[in-house]
Amino acid sequence: MAKRPRNIHDTFVRESFSDPVRAVAFFKEFLPSNLAQHFDFETLAVIKESYINETLQEHFSDLVFGVSLKSDISVKTDVVLLFEHKSSPDQNVLFQVGHYMFAHWTKCLAENRKPKPIIPVIYYQGTRSWKVGDLSDLIKNHPKEIKKYLPEVNYIFIDLKTISKDHLLNIQNSMMAAAILAQQWRINPAKLQEDFERIFRLFPVEGAN
């Protein structure tokens, strides 16, 4: 089956995060500080994964980031950044994330490589309220004694519409701040113009010097 073409919003988001410098600025701002403190962000790089099938490609950006830990430059942890491209919540997102994680680890074992920890980041662009929850929320009408055997999928959830202007302006990269702003206000062109002007007054544009 042919891969479904990405729409303009999907492409814009993917291109925004494909640049490691912009991605670092995003991760520094939005990853929990107790997690981010362990990463050497100067080592962050985009990793191409070859095992994501066409079904997963409809849900994943194809962007996987490898970053070294500060404690040991030889140790890597993969940060998985998942873009949810639908405008409505997806109740199956944890199945998709789990599928990705175990596919990654299975490939590592097949290639005699040590599996690395994976941190899923769910980046939600929809307008409706969404609480992702956990797998037990999706498998109902079973007693807790059975549900306790379900795997636990931890994740970082970033709801684009809830990002405040103050939080946005903390991003130390004007291009990434502007890109997120464009995503946030794509349905309100007048507001977008106003916020763009604010962004470029407060942040230097990269490469201007």
In this prediction the pTM is 0.79
Q: Which residues pair with 83 in a beta bridge?
A: 123
Contact 163, 184 (CB under 8 A): yes
pLDDT of residue 3: 43
What is the rounded end-to-end Cα distance, in angstroms, of the chain? 48
| Cβ-proximal residues to 24 (8 Å cutoff; 6+ apart), any chain | 41, 44, 173
Tell me the pLDDT tens digit for each residue of 161-206.
888 877 877 888 888 887 887 777 765 555 556 665 665 665 555 5
